[in-house]
Structure 1
Amino acid sequence: MRHHHKSTVLAAAAIAALSLGLTACGGGDAAAGAKDDGSVGASKSAQATTDTVAGAGGADQTTAKNGSGSTGGSTAGSTTGGSGTKGSTTGSGTGSSGGGTGSTKARACAAGDVKVTAAKADEVPTEHIVLTATNTSGSACTLLEYPLIAFGPIQTAKDIPAVAKSKPAAPIVLKPGAPAYANVRVALGGAHEDNKVVKEFNVNLFAAEGPAEGSVVVKAPAGGLAVDEAAAKTGYWTYELRNGADEF
């Protein structure tokens, strides 16, 4: 009986130990399973986070692409604007060219391109005359600066100075048949011993580099002109005489 009880006790102890071992193994497996589940969960969570970040990055990329698209749109707009600007420039160029034909590109008028006449101003005694230059050529030309007047032989005549305030803002371009004017003071106070009577005189024109070749012979108004070269002055060529600027 005592031997049998001891065997029973040993058997019970062995079973308990085995149960503990199995429990421990089961606990370890469960823990491992839990750990694995946690790792998978963490991986899934990390993957989800990565996907979210990737998604955000994708959104950023999409935004960047959209931004790039916007930039592209802007660039296209700029190109269109540039084209518009180019169009404007072209338009401006055309206008400029039209004005250029009139301002910067029309050749300088030569002596053979214009007819110059002189008329006395409405005053007594006569101190001023008005010169009128009419383009008699078949194309536009630029009347540069002012008339170079010689009240006597060209080689010895005194140069008649120009009045700066009468200078126009832009060159005077004459279309065929169009006139330009210059006010000229020929004397002060009427006839006296310093005056000389002039029946005709010479008007030279400017070229781009200076006085042009040749001159226009201008007939003095009826009765001739009493000219005092010391007092004489000329205005610039203008489209029309302007009160103030052309009064001297």
Structure 2
Amino acid sequence: MRTFRSRSAVLGRSTVLAATGAAVLALSLTACGGGSDTKAAEPAGATVAASATETTVSVGGSHDVRSAGATVAAKPGGKRAAAAAPVCTTKDVTISAARHGGPPYTHIVLTAKNTSAHSCRMTGFPEIQFLESHKQDVPAVAKSKPASPVVLKPGAPAYALVKVSDGGVDEDNEPVSAFQVSLQGGGMAAVRAPGSGGIAVDPAKALTGYWTYELRNGADDF
């Protein structure tokens, strides 16, 4: 005897099977990817590799593209920032002199203070002429040259140690009450010598250091 199933019974069974299959598929996706988003199912390395193809760093309005995996930090006041700062002239700084050490006073310190409203870069060493009879500049001591550019923010100072004599009474010293300082960036300034009687200068012994942020032991030992 044949058994006939109704059309509605067959359709009901198909619906149950379809629902069961969908549930199994959903559970499989959840186990693999932790969610229903297909991006979450991708291997972790794929997303990292795609985002680390190149690193772009913007410094001073320009773009520098670096290779994958490189970590680049733009340092304020670095070489690129220093190169962007204009060179200091005597219009940007005020130069003064003070005695250094005790008697006999063989050295003075020049201070160049940035009195402008912008940063500027001190280059080289002060070009000094102590006497009208000696037109050549005081020679510089190479070991005092700083390793990095000296960039002065508004109000900031730079220093240069200057040797004026050996302190001997038999030297060919000449009294100096004021002298001339030129900057390699441009301009000349008349600087008043420290002390009520000025300073005693032996042009044959005079030396100058480079402009630096501070006087340094060893580098300024001359």
> Structure 2 length as normaliser, TM-score?
0.68
Match of 1:221 among 186, 194, 217: 194
User: Could you list the runs of 5+ residues in structure 1 that have no partner in the other structure?
Assistant: 1-68
Query: How big is each residue's C-alpha offset from its partner over 1:74-94, in whole Å with a ceiling of 9 and x where there is no partner?
Result: 5x53442244x3259689574
Partner of 1:99: 78
Q: Where in structure 2 are the equivalents of 1:2-151 lying within 5 Å?
A: 74=46, 77-83=48-54, 85-87=55-57, 92=72, 94-95=74-75, 98-100=77-79, 102-151=81-130
1:57 match: none
- 1:198–1:225 Cα contact (<8 Å) kept: yes
Partners of 2:103 and 2:210 lie apart in 1 by: 24
Cα distance, 1:92–1:191 mapped onto 2, change above 3 Å: farther
Report the structure, 1 or 2, having the larger helix content: 1
Unaligned runs of 5+ in 2: 1-41, 59-63, 66-70
The share of aligned pairs that are identical, in percent, is: 49
Structure 2 CA distance for aligned equivalents of residues 159 and 87 of structure 1:
44
What is the aligned length?
Answer: 170
> 1:164: which partner in 2?
142
Alpha-carbon displacement from aligned partner over 1:171-228 (angstroms, at most 9, x marks no partner):
1000000001110000012444511111111111113xxxx2x201110012111101
Q: Report what 1:244 is aligned to.
A: 218
Q: Secondary structure at the match of 2:91?
A: helix
Distance 2:87 2:105 in 1: 32
Judged with a 3 Å threshold, the aligned counterparts in structure 2 of structure 1 residues 162 and 193 are, in CA distance, closer, same or farther, namely closer
2:80 and 2:56 map into 1 onto residues whose CA distance is: 21
Distance 1:102 1:121 in 2: 33
Partner of 1:201: 179
- CA 1:109–1:231: 2 relative to 1, 3 Å: same
